[in-house]
Structure 1
Amino acid sequence: MTRPPFPPPSADDIRLVSHQLGRPARGVIGIAARCVCGAPTVVATAPRLDDGTPFPTLYYLSHPAATAAVSTLEATGVMSEFVTELEQDAALREGYARAHEAYLADRTGIEDVEEIRGISAGGMPARVKCLHALAAHALAAGPGLNPIGDLALARSSWSPRVCQCADYDAADPQGGEA
């Protein structure tokens, strides 16, 4: 297990995440990564939402600037490049498989939900399906655990070391989609 359990989110965390997403936050059990200013960047979401829905995406990218930067990567075809790299690089495949197992261990450590057992996020372990989820996992787990998430963060125009929170004020909340 790489990170859980997380300290419970504060009421202010939930308010900020809801603002970031442009909708009420659901199932947030912790903040898995924060901006350098302390604002939430990645939320940890319960494996089963309050309404009983299984939710496989434990690590969810919430920071609007990070989400926008990763969306740009997806829109410019970076996922297909990463798929090719994954197919051609055995060490990358092995690291990605380890990331998948770590993700499953983190989520199962919180709650084992039968309907999503063995399913992680972002296409792991064999595909690259959602860079938002992979970048969120890389931010939550730290460098080196999710190699595709690390590649996405390295290629993005956003940096976890530079605060861009002021770019997203109350008049224009942006949504995350990891």
Structure 2
Amino acid sequence: MTAAPPNDPTVSPQDLTVVGHQLGRPARDVVEIAARCTCGNPLVVATAPRLGNGTPFPTVFYLTHPVITAAVSRLEAEGAMYAMTDRVATEPELARRYRAAHEDYLAQRRRIGEAAGTGEVPEIEGISAGGMPARVKCLHVLVGHSLARGPGVNPLGDETLEAIAETWSPQRCACDPTWREGD
């Protein structure tokens, strides 16, 4: 069996197997594959805003690819979020674009919630993820949003992707072939 095309949001059993290998645990409440590698493997999943066990889950775009996750984790360990938060507070245009990213995230979560049939999730109403819109606390969320929605939607997610370009780029595959074993 071959992987889905890079722009196909449909979730297959094979996709869930790959995501399980990527995360080291079973995938849960995946509604769409929000971004794919050039080879077709999942990079980001769109997760229902209310998990099957009833827990509210604000992180609709969940980064699954371990190479990207590790590269972003290194930036977080270096404290990149603090400088970005300072910039959001002092650069009005960046703050405006980051607020727009927050609004987009909320709209996408509503869309994913409708697709999942979860309905309203009042516990997380108005709360996006990653610290948006006033601060930066999780680069993984911002990168997941950028990969899911494309360049220009989340400016700090885009910047983070640029910062990890030597380690990972959307133009080249960094997938482990064993993720697809058992096809």
The question of 1:113 aligning with 2:121 is answered yes
Q: TM-score, normalised by structure 1?
A: 0.88
Distance 2:125 2:11 in 1: 25
Q: TM-score, normalised by structure 2?
A: 0.86
| Higher Cα Rg, which structure | 2
2:82 aligns to what?
A: 80
Residue 172 of structure 2 aligns to a residue whose secondary structure is coil
Taking every aligned residue pair, what percent have the same amino acid on both sides? 57
Deviation at 1:143, TM superposition (A): 0.3
Query: Over aligned residue pairs, what C-alpha RMSD do you find?
Result: 1.4
1:18 aligns to what?
A: 20
Deviation at 1:146, TM superposition (A): 0.3
The question of 1:126 aligning with 2:128 is answered no
Moved more, 106-115 or 91-100: 106-115
2:145 aligns to what?
A: 137
Distance 2:162 2:88 in 1: 16
Q: Which runs of 5+ in 2 are unaligned?
A: 1-7, 114-119
The question of 1:160 aligning with 2:160 is answered no
Q: Which runs of 5+ in 1 are unaligned?
A: 1-5, 171-178
Distance 1:101 1:77 in 2: 25
2:58 aligns to what?
A: 56
Higher relative contact order (CA 8 A, sep 6+): 1
Deviation at 1:169, TM superposition (A): 4.4
Distance 1:7 1:122 in 2: 23
Aligned length: 164
2:11 aligns to what?
A: 9
